[in-house]
Structure 1
């Protein structure tokens, strides 16, 4: 009798390099829930990409019809039976999620969300936490916690920093889904593309960004998020200093020289 081959369990997050672009795919459909295992796998991949010079841009995508339905409510409900009614596990989940979202924002590489389907609650938070987001015309978004007695307070942090306050409150208070065009109008996504072209468009988008100086991208991304939390005068003082330091980069010297000489720059990352 021929033995059946052992089943190989798919990791919750798979990695794939396409040129200078690392694709991280949520691979636990149908919900692609942000379980503890999924968040830990995502954070490990992000950490590995931080110092990998081959990685210039990161894309976060998902398998199946749902980008992510947010936290794993089944996993969380199981811990209601704990002696503390789940408090310790809930704290671990929320802290880990907050750490993962901040890791995306503070990551030295640009991060693009590629959405084909539904992104709700912490899944919507994940979209909002990425630097850029591209979705299909059939995608939808929601922060529906209010419908089950759980206000989407942590998704609110990312959402309120990406869309207008009244639009963020509309999503948070009603819990209703918004379609792709409304998400673009709100500022939650950058572009909407037909499903059949999503991967192609995102890859091209990522490669355009990857062609820039990696040191300049790192500097600019960090400055963007830091100045956004400052007063106007403090932001200008800070960014003026950033630009002076940026001008001292060899890459800036090379880039300006290449522009004046009408040639393609050769980045050294220094």
Structure 2
């Protein structure tokens, strides 16, 4: 059994975490598989969008607690293992954000702790309307400090802090209201709605989306005047692209663009 399955179709890479018996926990093996696909996708110009889902009854239940407990058996109480674990997890989360292709989380069941972090680290998310989200580590005495980073950059701070300190679950409807996910749909429609979104994105000029995604995240961290200066340079460079020029001409001439690279 492959722990992370990949299927490509029509410019979309479908990644499915495939450890249903462990609720697709972010084990050492799962993190390595995700990192491997992130590295492969980074240079794959044939892929325009990525969909990330989970097999079985849940999207992802977070880190593998049994594996983490085993890591504590080291002479240092597991400190070196834990430092390495969270470094590898951070690399995966940032890697998703830094991919040139937009990444869409297709979420069902539960997305808890680092599983919720995984949703927050994707560029977009569509969830089944009965999905539950949480950063529940506090319930077992472990504050979800690293999931907090992505979560607090997706939803308002007081709502994020409430989730982190109460350990309570949030419904898909509430997650959509707060901005953790783009939309909540019926379970029956989840795959189709996610594919529809991915297909729309994949139909755009890939080079423009790549430039735009990178600029989107970079400008968020800048003061507003610096952000305008930076994005002005980005859009000027975008306008120098042969395919962008073709898109402008096609718009004026009321015809579909004839892009060399999609």
* Native 8 Å contact 2:41 2:99 kept in 1: no
For residue 260 of structure 2, what is the aligned residue in structure 1?
268
Give the root-mean-square deviation of aligned CA atoms. 1.1
For residue 197 of structure 1, what is the aligned residue in structure 2?
189
TM-score (ref. length: structure 1): 0.94
**In 2, Cα distance between equivalents of 1:267 and 1:153:** 45
**In 2, Cα distance between equivalents of 1:68 and 1:184:** 18
**In 1, Cα distance between equivalents of 2:98 and 2:259:** 22
For residue 204 of structure 2, what is the aligned residue in structure 1?
212
Aligned positions of 1:1-270 closer than 5 A: 10-30=1-21, 31-269=23-261
Offset at residue 54 of structure 1 (A): 2.0
**In 1, Cα distance between equivalents of 2:209 and 2:131:** 29
**In 1, Cα distance between equivalents of 2:91 and 2:233:** 28
Poorly superposed stretches of 4+, deviation over 3 Å: none
Offset at residue 13 of structure 1 (A): 0.7
More deviation, 93-102/82-91 = 82-91
**In 2, Cα distance between equivalents of 1:265 and 1:116:** 37
- Aligned positions, number: 261
**In 1, Cα distance between equivalents of 2:184 and 2:193:** 10
What whole-Å deviation, never above 9, does each CA across 1:140-174 have from its counterpart, x for those lacking one? 10000111111111101101111111111111111
Offset at residue 235 of structure 1 (A): 0.6
Offset at residue 53 of structure 1 (A): 2.2
More deviation, 44-53/183-192 = 44-53
TM-score (ref. length: structure 2): 0.97
**In 2, Cα distance between equivalents of 1:237 and 1:191:** 33
What whole-Å deviation, never above 9, does each CA across 1:59-84 have from its counterpart, x for those lacking one? 10000111101000100101221111
Give the match's secondary structure for 1:124.
helix
**In 2, Cα distance between equivalents of 1:95 and 1:173:** 24
Offset at residue 267 of structure 1 (A): 2.4
Where does the alignment leave 5 or more consecutive residues of structure 2 unmatched?
none
**In 1, Cα distance between equivalents of 2:199 and 2:171:** 27
**In 1, Cα distance between equivalents of 2:35 and 2:249:** 38
